[in-house]
Amino acid sequence: MKPPKSIGFEIKMLSNLIKRKLDDGSLDDGENGLTGMQGWIIAYLRANGNRAVFQRDIEKDFNIRRATVTGVLQLMERNGLLLREPVEHDARLKKLTLTSKADKLHERAVQRFEEFENHLRRGLNEEDLAMFFEIAERLKNNLE
């Protein structure tokens, strides 16, 4: 007899597959070692370019821990993708600013994310997608 399926296990498996695919170098043809998370952060900073964005914003909006964000941002800074700039009103806060190198990678990353999203949606109709997003929202609410 097969054990019952587990929502948590299935989501973890999907998460692993998605992370592996996004981190396999396909976002930038392997030239710059841009990971999926770095691509998402670049896209996030570009989308929020009209306001100051800080590490805590990424922690909150991506729902990831401070240590994880710190590591990703430090690597991005070392790789010349972003700068941490102090703000006048609070010396502890560092505003995140993309470099021209990150701006150049952004368009290609967006294209790759769109291709990846289309790949994920293959074989799913609008009703399937609506149900998926509704269930995902309920699961997130259950975990908060």
Query: What's the predicted TM-score (pTM) here?
Result: 0.71
CATH no. for residue 79? 1.10.10.10
What would the mean pLDDT of 16-42 be, rounded to a whole number?
A: 73
Cα 31 to chain center, whole Å? 19
The two most distant CA atoms of the chain are separated, in Å, by 64
Count of positions (residues) in the chain: 144
Mean of all residue pLDDT scores within the chain: 87
Nearest to 32 by CA among 93, 109, 89, 96: 109
Please name the residue that has the structure tokens 């841009």.
34
Instruction: Tell me the two tokens of residue 123.
Output: 């074989």
Query: In this model, does residue 29 exceed pLDDT 70?
Result: no
Beta bridge partners of 85: 95
Instruction: Tell me the two tokens of residue 113.
Output: 């994310």
Query: In this model, does residue 27 exceed pLDDT 80?
Result: no
Asked whether residue 89 is domain-assigned, the answer is: yes
Asked whether residue 5 is domain-assigned, the answer is: no
What would the mean pLDDT of 8-37 be, rounded to a whole number?
A: 75
Task: Give the range of the structural domain holding residue 81, as residue numbers without chain letter.
Answer: 18-143
What would the mean pLDDT of 23-39 be, rounded to a whole number?
A: 66
pLDDT at 33: 65
Asked whether residue 116 is domain-assigned, the answer is: yes
What would the mean pLDDT of 66-93 be, rounded to a whole number?
A: 91
Cα separation, 128 vs 124, whole angstroms: 6
Asked whether residue 3 is domain-assigned, the answer is: no
CA 44-50-51 angle, 5° bins: 80
Q: How confident is the model at residue 141 (pLDDT cuts 50, 70, 90)?
A: very high
Q: How confident is the model at residue 41 (pLDDT cuts 50, 70, 90)?
A: very high
Number of structural domains in the chain: 1
Region of 107 (left: φ > 0; alpha: ψ -120 to 50; beta: rest) is: alpha
Return the DSSP state at 123.
T
Which one-letter amino acid corresponds to residue 111?
Q
Asked whether residue 11 is domain-assigned, the answer is: no
Query: In this model, does residue 105 exceed pLDDT 70?
Result: yes
